[in-house]
Structure 1
């Protein structure tokens, strides 16, 4: 709520807390040895709820390292990563795991489906891990997500019976099941034909606007596709472990 100091004073909007904030984040490997190497050099960025952002850059520029840090899969050497205003520095492994499971969804470059389970069971896996047994509402959402990514009629097929593109769509539905606050996607349309890729892109965009205004989510997509990146709200460009200055501008203004 915004307080009014006098009857004639216009309210001043309070600054919103970024959904994701990185403050001078650094990452080094082989720390303390003669081969110590810093791969991320002071990364700072903010992503607000409702934003749909792209992370681009050449191979080896640091995109995957940055995504692993944001996803709490690895720890930064220095700096801080905040999710919904909560600092993740100093969290125990168990606390990081709980926060990751509650707030972050992943779509990796490779689908990582469990071969012994059906497509529907794979989509429901986050709910099974979190709650022991999916609720009827979660089962209904899983079905709906599979339909929305073009897999109606494939719900009870195991991964071996699906094409590579179909398996990736299952992975996308799985990432969206629990409506995480932050979705991280590494080349999510890389194995899809152009028509299906456009449908999946639209689904991911819809995800970031799915909840009420106070609970809207955000999406960060790693992509090599300049056309896809240009359709995002903002584009972050990595080069040699650093964010380029122009990367924090609206994607539509990039040339």
Structure 2
């Protein structure tokens, strides 16, 4: 029996201001699946619906219609508590702006998902966080706060944090958008390495055609519809 896709969208739609004169549909009947181990780029012009789609896949917004399954679970009937639990267990997020907590050290920021998931921090969570910081080349900086780190180092901490609970899916929204070319290449290489080593699925929103070309698959969104799906 084949494993269920990590992401499965069927006829997915999203509208805002539903039932009002200014109702606007921004996603129009999307069909998309992403399997374990796939590394895909999501591209498209501004206003094409990329961020909305990423928020829906990341369980931060609910679709208006259609079906969304994450790791084999149909999300339509899940309560908000179940959605939160599924998001925390299955999805890691990396954003253009890292959203690290400035008062916490790098180690504490990476340990935070385990604190939230388990209610307490323990030796295992800290050991995992140290391993991840080592993997991104920052073990020696574990006790520094974000303000003491460069932009690229902060993004490395954010990647380590996203991987802390070994998610099946990494969603990255312009993770290299505010970095220089060399640092962006390093961050991209890290995501590829974790994708290869852990077989997590990765969906990366990027405006950088160089990075998109290095993905196994490129999904192009135009006006809320999938215009092209290369490598699927």
* TM-score bin, normalised by smaller chain: over 0.9
Structure 1: gaps (5+ residues): 1-13
Between the two proteins, the alignment pairs up a number of residues equal to 232
1:221 aligns with 2:196: no
Let me know the Cα RMSD of the aligned residues: 1.6
TM-score between both structures, scaled by the size of structure 2: 0.94
Please tell me whether the aligned partners of residues 55 and 236 of structure 1 are also in contact (alpha carbons under 8 angstroms): yes
TM-score between both structures, scaled by the size of structure 1: 0.86
1:241 aligns with 2:228: no
Please tell me whether the aligned partners of residues 116 and 158 of structure 1 are also in contact (alpha carbons under 8 angstroms): yes
Show CA shifts across 1:194-237 (max 9, x none).
Answer: 333222222211222334xxxx3201000011111111111100
Higher strand fraction (1 or 2)? 2
- Measured after TM superposition, the shift of residue 180 of structure 1 is 0.2
CA distance in 1, matches of 2:218, 2:5: 16
CA distance in 1, matches of 2:57, 2:177: 21
Show CA shifts across 1:35-71 (max 9, x none).
Answer: 1000111111011101001000111110000000000
Q: 1:123-134 alignment to 2 at 5 Å?
A: 123-134=110-121
Secondary structure of the residue that 1:90 maps to in structure 2? Answer: coil
- Pick the aligned partner of 1:230 from 213, 222, 226: 213
CA distance in 2, matches of 1:81, 1:229: 25
What residue in structure 1 maps to residue 150 of structure 2?
163
Show CA shifts across 1:59-107 (max 9, x none).
Answer: 1110000000000000000001111221001211111000000000001
CA distance in 1, matches of 2:107, 2:17: 41
Please tell me whether the aligned partners of residues 165 and 191 of structure 1 are also in contact (alpha carbons under 8 angstroms): no
Q: 1:170-209 alignment to 2 at 5 Å?
A: 170-209=157-196
